[in-house]
Amino acid sequence: MKKLFMIAFCFIAFGIKAQSTIKTVTLNVKGNCEDCKERIENAADIKGVKVCAWDSKTKIAQLKYDPAKVSLDQIEKAIAKAGYEAGNAKADAVAYSKLPKCCQYNDGKCEKK
């Protein structure tokens, strides 16, 4: 019985340690509308990212990720590759030019907001 208790305790302890590695941060991401929201959140859906929730009003993404699997820099670059400026990463110019006109945030003319 004591051995079983110790085994259970070890599993719980390792489970808690694994959970504690998740990091939560906010990230400024330029965009305009709900279509942008979907693209930004999908772009951040990479290995190690648990949650990405972007708010079109505040232009802030709430991220939960495992730094053992992915860095914040990698997440920023993944979003930038989709055409959106994210943190320190500049948007990929080609991807930005392919965004729908309402999602091209540099001109400030989004009608969908």
* Domains contained in the chain, CATH given: 22-107 (3.30.70.100)
What is the model's pLDDT at position 17? 54
List, for residues 33-75, the tens digit of each pLDDT value: 999 999 999 999 999 999 999 999 999 999 999 999 999 999 9
Q: Single out the residue of 7, 32, 18, 5 nearest to residue 67, CA to CA.
A: 18
d(C-alpha 93, C-alpha 101), whole Å:
14
Residue 111 in 3-state DSSP? coil
pTM above 0.85, yes or no: no
The per-residue pLDDT for 87 is 94
Query: Dihedral, CA atoms, 64, 75, 86, 80, nearest 10 degrees?
Result: -150
Joined tokens for residue 80: 């930038």
Across the chain, the runs of DSSP E, i.e. the strands, are 23-28, 49-55, 60-65
